Structure 1
Amino acid sequence: MPLTLQDVDRFESARPRLEAIAYRLLGSAGEAEDAVQETYLRWQAADVERIEVPEAWLTKVLTNLCLNQLASARARRETYVGRWLPEPLLDGDPMLGPAATAEQRESVSYAVLTLMERLTPNERAVYVLREAFDYPHREIAEILDLSEAASQQIFHRAKKHIADGKARAEVDEAAARAIVEEFLAAATSGRTEPLVRLLTSDAVAVGDGGGKVPARTKGFEGALAVAKFMRGLFKPAPAKRALIGGAADMYVTTANGGPAVVAVVEGRVVGVMCLEITAEGIAAFRSQANPDKLARATEVWAAADHGEPLLRMF
């Protein structure tokens, strides 16, 4: 039976929440959109008049589609060229979803999305549904075909894995922006010492080029190694300019709710560097340069008022 306009409207009203759930589960905006579209096709084929609670039905279908996707994604990532990192979302992107609580904001942070790659698909699903969307364990158990006790156990285990991998307490937004600006000044100074002073002793730097942009498979570890890498990364060179298609305007902005540096060439986002900043200094740099994972960032960037760049380089 064809969907009525009311049925279509019911799905469309649920779409933002479904996309936000799928993005947290998959770490990819493109894959999230595909999962939501497949959910719509399932909705279209269902006898919707017999579905008592549409929100629960849609969430169950979407979550299980994402679980299947996560299982196959693990196999694909074994052949991925270089380090796999999530797709960053810039400030204002509706796919970031709810941000009313600290738990909701943290669940979509780039650091936590990266840590969630260590979780099993079930752990990731329970963590996302409970932490980010405040689903009761009774409903999560029904969505995942678990017992309520099992859902609670999986959640505590997932939360512990995330907590064990997190950095120290972060600083507030204004302080973080000042540190990012100081970092850019130090990185373009051509000297290593100012950079080292901004980093924690165990700082790390990792990047994802997807085989299309040069990026080391193994990241850099330790303040000195990271500082030397950053000094080289921000050193102007004709080859870098040719690689990205021109001079890059560098902006300090927000991605996934945290401080970030965005590189833009003629309106196209060519790189997003997410920084993890703690009271002790910058603990991590996670850079996304794979063009396949920056198309949505470019769309959001084009629609936003982002002010003047902090500097131009390359």
Structure 2
Amino acid sequence: MTSALEAFQKHRSSLFALAYRMLGSKQDAEDILQDAFLKFQSVSIDSLESSQAYLITLVSRQCIDALRRARYREGYEGPWLPEPLVEETVLQACPSELTHRYQQVSQGVLWMMEALSPTQRAVLVLRDVLDLPYERIADIVEKSIDNCRQIYRRACQKMELSTGERSSTLAVNQYWMEQLLSALVNADTQALLKLLHEDASLVSDGGGKAVALSKPLHGRDCILTFLAGLQHYYRDDEVHFRTANINNEPGILIYVNREPVTTCTLIRQGEQIRHLLMVRNPDKLRTARREMV
């Protein structure tokens, strides 16, 4: 007879895929999974038609509840960005039961999903990541099948202002990141001027625990001024940049005095950078600290 632990471990990877995309936080996803396992232990496995279906429903509803609780990030100080997974190849947690869309976990996509309601986010993730039919999704979110189809369409439309951005996010390659890295390392203002879109934005997440922007910066000139200010701010420190795998795509890891202090990822629009996403909250850099140079 299969134990609760064995049944849970069998599906843990797909459950983490679901929870991380719903919440944008590795720690919050792990907490949800821990709570789900405790609840799962009290259930008779033999009475379940499918352990996997039960667990996906349980985790999905817990994530929706977490997002609804005062939109649990409302008290967060400054802009909020998803927790980056640095050099923690997400594919290690990718069982064959998941589709190739599992890889679509870039910070850019997760950040843009913040525009969605909890239910929209759940429907989008369940459909796009776990490839569930609308009949199953309807049961999980407790909506009609037709309603779920509409929710999915509206979720896609909400991110439509980002349709080009959403698809290009997944196309960020090593070349682009190396161009940005070279410009930052060499303080090359002219190179940055060419790389950044005129209406580019820079979002910096310090969570009140690290020096960061209190609100996003908008406009190429403002960003260039800010980056120049950073060079002055760290003039007496040893600053080191390197490319890193962040959420399954190339990113930049910034060290100050050999301590990782910032991750940087980007969203392209056409041939320029539209958004720079910089995570500085030390609570979100746990995976980065494992990669210290």
Q: Secondary structure at the match of 2:200?
A: strand
Number of the residue aligned with 1:161: 158
Shift in Å, 1:184: 2.5
2:103 equivalent to 1:105: yes
Number of the residue aligned with 1:256: 247
Evaluate the alpha carbon distance shift between residue 44 and residue 129 of structure 1 in structure 2; reply closer, same or farther with a 3 A threshold.
same
What are the ranges of 5 or more consecutive residues in structure 1 without an aligned counterpart?
242-246, 303-308, 310-314
Runs ≥4 residues deviating over 6 A: none
2:193 equivalent to 1:196: yes
Number of the residue aligned with 1:53: 50
TM-score, normalised on structure 1? 0.83
Shift in Å, 1:282: 1.4
* CA distance in structure 2 between the aligned counterparts of 1:95 and 1:267, rounded to whole angstroms: 27
Shift in Å, 1:265: 5.7
Shift in Å, 1:12: 0.6
Shift in Å, 1:216: 1.3
* CA distance in structure 1 between the aligned counterparts of 2:127 and 2:193, rounded to whole angstroms: 39
1:184 corresponds to which of 181, 184, 191: 181
Residues 9-51 of structure 1, C-alpha deviations (whole Å, 9 max, x = no match): 1111111111110000001000000000111001101122211
Number of the residue aligned with 2:283: 292
TM-score, normalised on structure 2? 0.89
Select between 185-194 and 195-204 the one with higher mean Cα deviation.
185-194
Shift in Å, 1:113: 0.6
Number of the residue aligned with 2:262: 271
Residues 86-121 of structure 1, C-alpha deviations (whole Å, 9 max, x = no match): 1011241458747853x4433x22111111111110
Evaluate the alpha carbon distance shift between residue 65 and residue 172 of structure 1 in structure 2; reply closer, same or farther with a 3 A threshold.
closer
Confirm or deny: 8 A CA contact 1:259 1:275 kept in the other structure: no
Number of the residue aligned with 1:84: 80
Evaluate the alpha carbon distance shift between residue 172 and residue 214 of structure 1 in structure 2; reply closer, same or farther with a 3 A threshold.
closer
Evaluate the alpha carbon distance shift between residue 298 and residue 86 of structure 1 in structure 2; reply closer, same or farther with a 3 A threshold.
same
* CA distance in structure 2 between the aligned counterparts of 1:19 and 1:172, rounded to whole angstroms: 20
* CA distance in structure 1 between the aligned counterparts of 2:254 and 2:25, rounded to whole angstroms: 20
Number of the residue aligned with 1:149: 146
Evaluate the alpha carbon distance shift between residue 112 and residue 95 of structure 1 in structure 2; reply closer, same or farther with a 3 A threshold.
farther
2:27 equivalent to 1:30: yes
Confirm or deny: 8 A CA contact 2:197 2:220 kept in the other structure: yes
Shift in Å, 1:202: 1.4
* CA distance in structure 2 between the aligned counterparts of 1:248 and 1:51, rounded to whole angstroms: 55
Number of the residue aligned with 2:113: 116
What are the ranges of 5 or more consecutive residues in structure 2 without an aligned counterpart?
none
Confirm or deny: 8 A CA contact 2:204 2:279 kept in the other structure: yes
* CA distance in structure 2 between the aligned counterparts of 1:129 and 1:82, rounded to whole angstroms: 29
Select between 64-73 and 282-291 the one with higher mean Cα deviation.
64-73
AA matched with 1:79: G
* CA distance in structure 1 between the aligned counterparts of 2:231 and 2:135, rounded to whole angstroms: 51
Confirm or deny: 8 A CA contact 1:171 1:279 kept in the other structure: no
Evaluate the alpha carbon distance shift between residue 32 and residue 267 of structure 1 in structure 2; reply closer, same or farther with a 3 A threshold.
farther
Matches within 5 A, 1:187-226: 187-226=184-223
- Count residues in correspondence: 289
Shift in Å, 1:266: 7.5
Q: Secondary structure at the match of 1:77?
A: coil
Q: Secondary structure at the match of 1:64?
A: helix
2:273 equivalent to 1:282: yes
What root-mean-square deviation, in Å, do the aligned CA atoms of Structure 1 and Structure 2 show? 2.5
Number of the residue aligned with 2:39: 42
Q: Secondary structure at the match of 1:214?
A: coil
Evaluate the alpha carbon distance shift between residue 96 and residue 53 of structure 1 in structure 2; reply closer, same or farther with a 3 A threshold.
closer
Evaluate the alpha carbon distance shift between residue 127 and residue 38 of structure 1 in structure 2; reply closer, same or farther with a 3 A threshold.
same
Shift in Å, 1:73: 5.4
* CA distance in structure 1 between the aligned counterparts of 2:110 and 2:50, rounded to whole angstroms: 30
Shift in Å, 1:296: 3.1
* CA distance in structure 1 between the aligned counterparts of 2:24 and 2:176, rounded to whole angstroms: 27
* CA distance in structure 1 between the aligned counterparts of 2:279 and 2:23, rounded to whole angstroms: 16
* CA distance in structure 1 between the aligned counterparts of 2:116 and 2:249, rounded to whole angstroms: 22
Number of the residue aligned with 1:306: none
* CA distance in structure 1 between the aligned counterparts of 2:260 and 2:134, rounded to whole angstroms: 40
Q: Secondary structure at the match of 1:230?
A: helix
AA matched with 1:33: E
